[in-house]
């Protein structure tokens, strides 16, 4: 079992830089990520309001409907964070 503790692994170097000329592309992608995130957040709020109105009127409120935009916004935020680290 000693072999399992002596195996060397590859660790990629950190602190890399984006290739030359990609600054504008990185800026555009970052703005798109922020814009879509804001749109998903607004969609989440609209879904909450619709669910609350349906519940107040005695109807069935689909509570899971407003959750999906929030989940997508969280995933998009994580992707944006990863993009910032890579770019």
Question: Residue 2 domain-assigned?
Answer: no
Query: In sequence order, what are the residues at sequence separation of 6 or more whose Cβ sits closer than 8 angstroms to the Cβ of residue 24?
Result: none
Task: List the domain range (segments joined by +) for residue 42.
Answer: 34-87
Lowest mean pLDDT segment, chosen from 60-64, 66-70, 75-79: 60-64
Residues 43, 72 contacting (CB under 8 angstroms):
no
Residues 73, 63 contacting (CB under 8 angstroms):
no
Q: Provide the number of structural domains found in the chain.
A: 1
What per-residue confidence (pLDDT) applies to 31? 85
Question: Residue 15 domain-assigned?
Answer: no
Higher pLDDT residue, 83 or 43? 43
How far apart, in whole angstroms, are the C-alpha atoms of residue 12 and residue 66? Answer: 39
Q: Given a cut of 60, is residue 61 above it in pLDDT?
A: yes
Question: Residue 83 domain-assigned?
Answer: yes
How far apart, in whole angstroms, are the C-alpha atoms of residue 23 and residue 65? Answer: 37
What per-residue confidence (pLDDT) applies to 81? 78
How far apart, in whole angstroms, are the C-alpha atoms of residue 29 and residue 70? Answer: 20
């Amino acid at each position: 079992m000693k072999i399992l503790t002596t195996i060397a692994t590859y660790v990629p170097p950190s602190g890399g830089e984006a290739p030359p000329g990609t600054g504008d592309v990185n800026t555009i992608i970052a703005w798109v990520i922020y814009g879509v995130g804001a749109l998903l957040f607004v969609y989440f709020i609209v879904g909450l309001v619709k669910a609350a109105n349906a519940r107040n009127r005695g109807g069935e409120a689909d509570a899971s409907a407003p959750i999906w935009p929030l989940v997508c916004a969280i995933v998009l935020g994580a992707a944006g964070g990863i993009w910032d680290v890579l770019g």
